[in-house]
A and B are shown apart, each in its own frame.
Chain A
């Protein structure tokens, strides 16, 4: 008798387990994050994990789809009336999760608050500085004026979520001015947003609880204006160690993880899990110092890298397909530009840079380096997917064509200090185009260094070509999309033809999901729980 009872108990416990598991699968989504957001405040830290989290709770005026093309968010329409004036039509009937209506006042308040966020380590002023005037024509129409033509304004407006003016303590009347707004009241500190009562937005989810380092819970916002997401509740847990993240997925602790390590993907798929991967907006490139001789790591009072033939030789010496197949296990795409097609400003018919070691040796001989030279390749070893091994492979490939290459691999924080101090003649790094169009990588990596024009900020190779600069500056002042794209394409082609910079590949971003779930890979690499769906049965 006792034995039967135990078995009956066990069986009912099993049945109960099965039931809760089934119910949980339909209502909850548990995500293992590769890196944790530093705050719930959408305007505190302009960084991937923070921006991805913000998209759940706060909606921007304009949203980006999976390939970063713009689509309506809280704004239904935006148009340039002339070169420096934009009319933005806001969505009607939208309410915040506390029930208050969304109006133009909230937008003005948000733009006013962004420069006031205390201690922001990476503020969003980057995206609001083009705005010179912001006025509400009525509750649902905004007129934005800019100092000069600002064709990227819609892209910039897609980077930050709108917060509630009333909850943040604004007065009835908020007016914008570049010298300081009025009616803003005391701008809230970022830490206040960690409180669910304060983190009020118009997004598909509401903040339920937030324990730093442990977990973040979101619950569905039933008053959201857009499509209702599939999950009642989303739980995000930071699982920064890749092995632990994979284990948590395999053990069923989470339903979805970010960035499974490339070498584990076959095993994860073999166990019946789903892998979703797609091109990201991030290019992995090698920058070659083109400043005056001497340059660090190359002996003598010469800088061979100033010669475009030498740069071309180094570009042709890299076997991008071997890197893709053997190191990245298929999770990269060989690059011929700084942004993958069909993103805005790319030349879709331009192939990846071919592998041609013979031509590389010829070019080196033509440039007077038949016997090669030696160089040090700097690289981070914990920042990009397989960054250290890629550099090792490139070093071997360069050595094969006669350029003796030594790798100097460091942790990212040490690498970046050296890089920004111009201590490398050649370094490997990555660039993600936040705006999703070509002016971002060209302006930062290729344009002549010029802080006043905000150009060449990461051009630590000191490349300088006024022709590219002129095309780029013109593009940045051209509001017409077709014309701007033509200019950007031309600038990109020119930069690639002169080997201003040597792209290697575009990273593919990968997610692993429990069986029965699907997620469309996003170029911006954001993990958006609201867009994870159960596969149709």
Chain B
């Protein structure tokens, strides 16, 4: 297990470094951030002065060398735009994004799994077909359009929910969160649905396919023959067995929900990290872009690891294989 962990860690470090190099060079190739940040009326000398202060006058390899040296000391550089530590600019936004992603994840599971199981148990009924048709919509409607429609219907026409923003927040474990008060929750519902719809469609499809497959297995027949109630068969034996693919996929999708909820965050003006990333790309704020993507690689690695652990909890075969290996 320890060797496995170390190997994992080494792989992730390599991934982080490779990514940092690629992004650093990529952003450098796009253009000069000073040209975007500076007031056009500034003089040429001022422009050169600012470039020198940001270290942008030096050759690329030297810039990277300085950056990397600071990185080894835990310094992710200062944002060109905000003049503050890039990592702290990002971390200020982390809670809002995490909260939204987790809420959307819960929605996707709580609604997606039961709907998928129902569709799998009754594939040829109106209900089953209706659920599948709905999931196709969830897949195929562009996220952006979905978001605008949600706003149009629930905020503009019906006026039930706010059109965007984060609303009131409550202090919780030193972070500001929305889910602990009504106003915050109201603000979170629409973006969370927007973020969850696609994942929910995915979960429905996985759960349905899993259910149909599992229902024909011998152990289900055996459980039935043993006289277990339909309820117990579905809730315990079916559900447990279809969860493995669902957990894998959702684990990966959670990463992308945290990292790239850009569209939802932009449409709903949700002050999360995705919106910061887009703003930073538009302004070529290289320290923030690089630090952000490094953080994201780290989060992906962490989630993958947790998924592996969860696997062994859900699937005894994995546990047994590990024990056997030891």
Contact = CB atoms under 8 A, between A and B. Distances in A.
Contacts of B176: 211
A123 B34 CA distance: 12
B39 A47 contact: yes
Nearest to B45: A451
Given A244-B268, A413-B284, A451 B44 contact: yes
A368 interface: no
A454 B37 CA distance: 19
Contacts of B276: 213
Interface in B173-229: 176
Given A119-B78, A213-B276, A247 B266 contact: no
B147 to A, nearest CB: 8
A251 B156 contact: yes
A120 interface: yes
Interface in B73-115: 78, 80-84, 89, 92-93, 96
B279 A122 contact: no
A440 B39 CA distance: 12
A1 interface: no
Nearest to A416: B35
Interface string B252-286: 00000000000000111101000110010111100
Interface stretch (B17-25, B134-142, B157-165, B230-238): B157-165
B152 interface: yes
Given A121-B37, A214-B166, A239-B269, A126 B43 contact: yes
A247 B37 contact: no
B38 A253 contact: no
A416 B36 contact: yes
B126 interface: no
A247 B152 contact: yes
A244 B267 contact: yes
A218 to B, nearest CB: 17
A414 interface: yes
A121 B279 contact: no
B171 interface: no
B46 A126 contact: yes
A122 B38 CA distance: 4
Nearest to A429: B40
A190 B79 CA distance: 13
Contacts of A454: 43-45
B30 A121 contact: no
A384 interface: no
A475 to B, nearest CB: 16
A450 B267 CA distance: 44
A465 interface: no
A120 B80 CA distance: 9
B93 A213 contact: yes
B69 interface: no
Interface stretch (A38-46, A73-81, A86-94, A501-509): A38-46
Instruction: Give the interface size bracket for B toward A.
Output: 35 or more
Which among B39, B92, B156 has the highest number of chain A CB atoms within 10 Å? B39
A239 B275 contact: no
Interface in A216-272: 237-241, 243-244, 247-248, 250-253
Interface in A402-427: 411-414, 416-417, 420
B16 interface: no
B241 interface: no
B155 interface: yes
Contacts of B96: 214
Contact of B41 (A44, A251, A411, A444): A444
A215 B50 CA distance: 29
B267 A241 contact: yes
B10 interface: no
Interface in B270-323: 271, 275-276, 279, 281-284
A451 B43 contact: yes
Which among A247, A248, A434 has the highest number of chain B CB atoms within 10 Å? A247
Contacts of B148: 243, 247
Given A119-B83, A434-B41, A411 B282 contact: yes
B151 A251 contact: yes
Given A126-B42, A214-B166, A244 B34 contact: no
A70 to B, nearest CB: 17
B143 interface: no
A46 to B, nearest CB: 4
Contact of A253 (B50, B152, B164): B164
B139 to A, nearest CB: 22
B248 interface: no
Interface string A7-41: 00000000000000000000000000000101100
Contact of B92 (A212, A251, A458): A212
Given A214-B165, A244-B151, A413-B282, A237 B269 contact: yes
Contact of B164 (A239, A417, A457): A239
Contacts of A121: 33-34, 37-38, 50, 80-81, 83
A217 to B, nearest CB: 12
Nearest to A51: B39
B81 A253 contact: no
Which among B41, B96, B148, B275 has the highest number of chain A CB atoms within 10 Å? B41
A237 B165 contact: yes
A240 B270 CA distance: 11
A412 B165 contact: no
B31 interface: yes
B266 A240 contact: yes
Which among B30, B35, B50, B163 has the highest number of chain A CB atoms within 10 Å? B163
Contacts of A243: 148, 267
A98 interface: no
Contacts of B78: 119
B32 A251 contact: no
A101 interface: no
24 contacts: A39-B83, A46-B42, A47-B39, A118-B83, A121-B81, A126-B43, A239-B165, A240-B269, A243-B267, A244-B163, A244-B164, A247-B163, A248-B163, A248-B164, A250-B156, A250-B163, A253-B165, A411-B282, A413-B30, A416-B31, A416-B32, A420-B32, A444-B40, A457-B40
- Which 5 pairs of residues, A with B, have the shortest CB-CB distance? A417-B31, A119-B83, A213-B271, A121-B37, A451-B44
Given A121-B38, A251-B163, 6 more contacts: A38-B81, A121-B81, A214-B166, A251-B151, A412-B282, A413-B36
